[in-house]
Structure 1
């Protein structure tokens, strides 16, 4: 007997796996080998066609050094409509997506940039985040972040 069909939550988890793998510049085949899967099974996980087992999700989290809860952040509501079979889920163009993008950029900057560059980038990302979310009018002259 087959398990429950994949739903929007599985697509969300798959997107997060795909994003981590892409940011790490790791091929699907390389990640699949590291966690003991076929590349086609990993592809199905990333597309949200198949549910990810708890064991595989734990292995993926360990490869990327993230807590398993990372895959459940901003999970869609129960009953959200799943994508059509074989469709690659697309990120929603909403306030949460822009904020998530800003947070991801800041995390990457913290890991790879010196303090002065991190501060400049934080100001820029904050201005972009506010402009994309239309929480305040974008003011080029007052968003430079330079203090002198």
Structure 2
């Protein structure tokens, strides 16, 4: 094998898979929405924060048992980690749902980049800091009433 092919193959083998990067970004999204640090997530999983960082960047691949643990700790269905995967990576809700035997539940509210904005994360964190359920419900109803109807 020519040396340029060997170099290209070696480089390709060391690059994270786009699917691993996507799954890692979903881990980071959910962790951030919960206001959880990498250190706290690592503690809950018996990992260092550096290992969590590598998972979130897609550098380290997340195995099935670890994905199960992440789903439990982050309180999401396993399908959440594959939601919004671009069609080019084999995503698409119907294709993914068919491959996963129907277990990739549709996650309402996780369809666009809105949740990746700092303003959204701060709003969600502030909302969940409201300790009184009745007050939180009134805030929720107020926000819904201000939004345009579809």
Whole-angstrom CA distance in 1 between matches of 2:39 and 2:137: 35
**Counting helix residues as a fraction of each chain, which structure ranks higher?**
2
Pairwise CA RMSD of aligned residues?
A: 3.8
Alpha-carbon distance between aligned partners in 1 of 2:141 and 2:44, rounded to the nearest angstrom: 36
The ranges of structure 1 where at least 4 consecutive aligned residues each deviate by more than 4 angstroms after the TM superposition are 103-106, 108-113
Pick aligned residue for 1:42 from 44, 48, 52: 52
Match of 1:18 among 21, 28, 32: 28
CA distance in 2, matches of 1:27, 1:39: 9
The whole-number CA distance in structure 2 between the counterparts of 1:6 and 1:39 is 19
Match of 1:98 among 107, 110, 114: 114
Q: With structure 2 as the length reference, what TM-score do the two structures score?
A: 0.56
Provide structure 2 residue ranges, at least 5 long, that are not aligned to the other structure.
1-12, 91-110
Partners of 1:13 and 1:72 within 8 A in 2: yes
Q: Does 1:30 align with 2:40?
A: yes
Question: Greater relative contact order: 1 or 2 (C-alpha under 8 angstroms, separation 6 or more)?
Answer: 1
In the other structure, the counterpart of 1:115 is 137
Q: Which runs of 5+ in 1 are unaligned?
A: 81-94, 131-148
Query: How many residues in Structure 1 have an aligned counterpart in Structure 2?
Result: 110
Distance 1:33 1:75, change over 3 A: same
User: Which whole-Å CA distance do the structure 1 matches of 2:137 and 2:49 have between them?
Assistant: 39
- Say whether residues 1:9 and 2:19 are aligned partners: yes
1:71 aligns with 2:81: yes
Kept after mapping to 2: 8 A contact 1:29/1:38: yes
